[in-house]
Amino acid sequence: MSLSTIIAVGSGGFLGAITRMAMTGWINKTFPHALPLGTLGVNVAGSFLMGILFGLFYVSGFFSPTMKSFLTTGFLGAMTTYSTFAMESFFLMQGGSFWFAALNVLLNVTATILFAGAGYLAVLKLGA
């Protein structure tokens, strides 16, 4: 692994983590709910962006390997929040909110897969 790739992933991660914090805070403040909607929002948005990027990677030779690492492993890897999702789901179960825990798991898993695919297929359909 080259130094430029390490720097790309690290700087992408820095920006992705800040984006996650800002988006999660805004969503939770704007849409207060027992379900952790901020985490769901960043996971769905990140999955959609991942799908768009992989669609662009497929149809375009524009992105260097370093830029791909910056955007996917770095930025989107830090922006999406699987470990946070796991802890929030656990805390919902621990607190007796089994319905919300199950709903949180179902929505995060289903929505992120659907949005990743939607982003990818949208790019392929548009022929970008």
Give the tens place of pLDDT for each residue, 17-39.
999 999 999 999 999 999 999 99
Entry pTM:
0.86
Q: How confident is the model at residue 83 (pLDDT cuts 50, 70, 90)?
A: confident
Give per-residue pLDDT as tens, 37-71.
Answer: 999 999 999 999 999 999 999 998 889 999 999 99
The pLDDT value recorded for residue 79 is 96
- The amino acid at 43: N
Residue where the block lists tokens 């992933």: 9
The pLDDT value recorded for residue 117 is 96
And the tokens for 21?
């914090």
The yes-or-no verdict on residue 128 having pLDDT over 90 is no
